[in-house]
Structure 1
Amino acid sequence: MTDAEETIAVVVVTYHSEAVLPGLLTTLEQGLDGLSWHLTVADNASADESVATVRRLLPAARVVEMGRNAGYAAGINAAVAAAGEHTAVLVLNPDIRLTPGCGRELVEVLRRTGAGIVVPRMERGDGSQIAALRREPSIPRAFGDALLGASRATRYPWLGELVAGERSYAEETVADWGAGSAMLISAECWRRVAPWDESFFLYSEETDFALRARDAGLLTRLAPRALVVHLEGESKVSPRLWAMLSVNRVRLYRRRHRAWATALYWSALVLREASRAVLGNPASRAAATALTSPRLLRTAPGPEWMVRRG
């Protein structure tokens, strides 16, 4: 099969994304050069000009107006359902920027290795590396993060969830999961593992999908020569989003482990957030409050947790 015979369904979920969308849309042509592709955007009831921006810059794109803030997973599912025929699905955040030829690199690794998911190497806008690969969440890794901090815990694979370091991103690497902001999913993987779990609304949905793909024998791989720039979102600065992220980590872990293990994992997250809340971190204060609220842990976080993004 040649590159021209590959047809990529590019799917993007927007929510108040008007400010960052042009930067993505104008890089699709160079990033996907040599490939056949089409774009489908699922808009989660943006109050800005997100939909108008898509229709102005790429009139041929399909737009699915969700009519409500349905979440990231629901948007992806709806966009893929509305997309035309395809041999792979490329999920992109609105704040991703493709570099020339990265699409061909992703497709080449997907085709050659038989992976279920391929993720690119990521950099921030200032050129610094983003650790896009992750190890499966575990009790030792949760305590490693709590006691050592994420950056120091990465030195020890059994204590760190992040896969960090330049050497880790210099060659094709298999990981338990990768950042959902940019990932190429094979048609087989989508057929066997989809849909994305919409109960997560935002955060942990890509972890869940990649771990279920791995369970099915469809691995996540890094394409080191495929580079994207990620402007990144607000989870590190928004207390409500960080709280949602933390609660969803526990919800995901609980689905895959017994009650006693979940209790230990939860305690590690509470330790992490409470210790940082004492130091005055507002995001950790919000997360610690959410993690110690039985009601919030029982109820899946939804749109009421959201703040304006992008």
Structure 2
Amino acid sequence: MDSTPETVAVVVVTYNSERLLPDLIASLPPGLEGVDWQLIVADNASKDDSVGAVRRLKPDAIVVEMGRNAGYAAGINAAVAKAGRFDAVLVLNPDVRLTPGCVRTLLKVLKTEGTGIAVPLLKDGDGELIHTMRREPSVRRVLGDALMGAVRAGRYPALGEMVTDESMYTAERVADWAEGSTVLISAECWNRIGAWDESFFLYSEETDFALRAKDAGLATRFTPEAQAVHLEGDSKVSPALWTLLTLNKVRLYGRRHNRALGAAFWAALVLREGSRAVLGKEPSKLATKALVKPSRLREAPGPDTVQRDAARVAGR
């Protein structure tokens, strides 16, 4: 029996992440105990000393300096391109902290027949469960979210995209996709599905990859036996990032469905964001304006559009 440890390419995309890196890198040795691993960091032109921090904290890490803010998918692809031979790719956000033995458990789950992606149970910085599992986007699920709210709708498979029934997080199960902060991808899945779609600058890239894997018969499998902490980003409070997230939902759904369904999905999102805008929610106000502007739906959003939206909110 071959007892050679499996090899994992640990991929992290940084953008002004200097303050987060010490705790992330400190969590890697216990989180990857019993596994051969190599850290590859793709830096999206950070203005802080993210690159220097990686080199000080993990001198044998490979650092790929992108030279621009190329986005999450582009960073992942560039990092994997610099990896040597691997049995799996572990994609991590800089604000993730692995718990001991996390990756070894995920590797076991990845061996389940028909599995291409394994994801752990995540908790936030306060120890609260994060609802990471997702169902495939649909018109009915957007309407359920609009009428009932994401948490309530998510208790019903037909009505919510986010899986919010906490009993669903107590046992191993298959999800359509999962949030992309902590994702282990088998080498087979990576090679069959191909690179992440770089046209999604941020948000929906993990949805696209997991749904393409699902189309190919490779499931995303969740296990509560592996755990990590995700401090989480600010898409829920930043109007500019929420707008980007919303527009990318429309773009992804439109690529996977016919024009009529795409129009219905767009209309459902206009209803959802518009109703919240009326209630005074700033992220939804900006998202609604973008949804009803044809030029915003045609463009491929990038860092310039995020900065432009942020400036509008700030009144500059």
TM range (shorter): over 0.9
Percent identical across equivalent pairs?
63
Aligned to 2:269: 269
What runs of 5+ residues in structure 2 fail to find an aligned partner? 311-316
Aligned to 1:73: 73
Aligned to 1:124: 124
Q: How does 1:55-74 map to 2 (within 5 A)?
A: 55-74=55-74
Contact 2:175 2:219 in 1 (8 A): yes
Aligned to 1:97: 97
Query: What residue identity is the alignment partner of 2:94?
Result: P
Q: Cα distance, 1:168 vs. partner? A: 0.6
**Aligned residue pairs, count:** 308
- Provide Cα deviations, 1:206-251, integer angstroms capped at 9, x if missing partner: 0000000000010000021110100001101110000000000000
1:47 aligns with 2:47: yes
Aligned to 1:303: 303
Between the aligned partners of 1:3 and 1:229, the Cα distance in structure 2 is 30
Report SS of the residue matched to 2:192.
helix
Q: Cα distance, 1:164 vs. partner? A: 1.8
Between the aligned partners of 1:300 and 1:187, the Cα distance in structure 2 is 29
Aligned to 1:33: 33
What runs of 5+ residues in structure 1 fail to find an aligned partner? none
Between the aligned partners of 1:4 and 1:243, the Cα distance in structure 2 is 46
Aligned to 2:313: none
Contact 2:114 2:217 in 1 (8 A): no
Q: Cα distance, 1:23 vs. partner? A: 1.4
Q: Give 4+ residue runs of structure 1 displaced > 2 Å after superposition.
A: 1-5, 305-308
Aligned to 2:85: 85
CA gap of 1:4–1:114, structure 2 versus 1, over 3 A, is: farther
- Provide Cα deviations, 1:129-174, integer angstroms capped at 9, x if missing partner: 1111100000100100011110110121100001122221111110
Aligned to 1:242: 242
Between the aligned partners of 2:31 and 2:138, the Cα distance in structure 1 is 35
* CA-based RMSD: 1.3
Query: What residue identity is the alignment partner of 1:198?
Result: E
Contact 2:13 2:76 in 1 (8 A): yes
Contact 1:3 1:104 in 2 (8 A): no
Between the aligned partners of 1:244 and 1:297, the Cα distance in structure 2 is 10
Report SS of the residue matched to 2:225.
strand
Contact 1:241 1:305 in 2 (8 A): no
Between the aligned partners of 1:260 and 1:151, the Cα distance in structure 2 is 28
- Provide Cα deviations, 1:30-77, integer angstroms capped at 9, x if missing partner: 100111101000000000010011000000000000000000000000
Between the aligned partners of 2:4 and 2:306, the Cα distance in structure 1 is 40
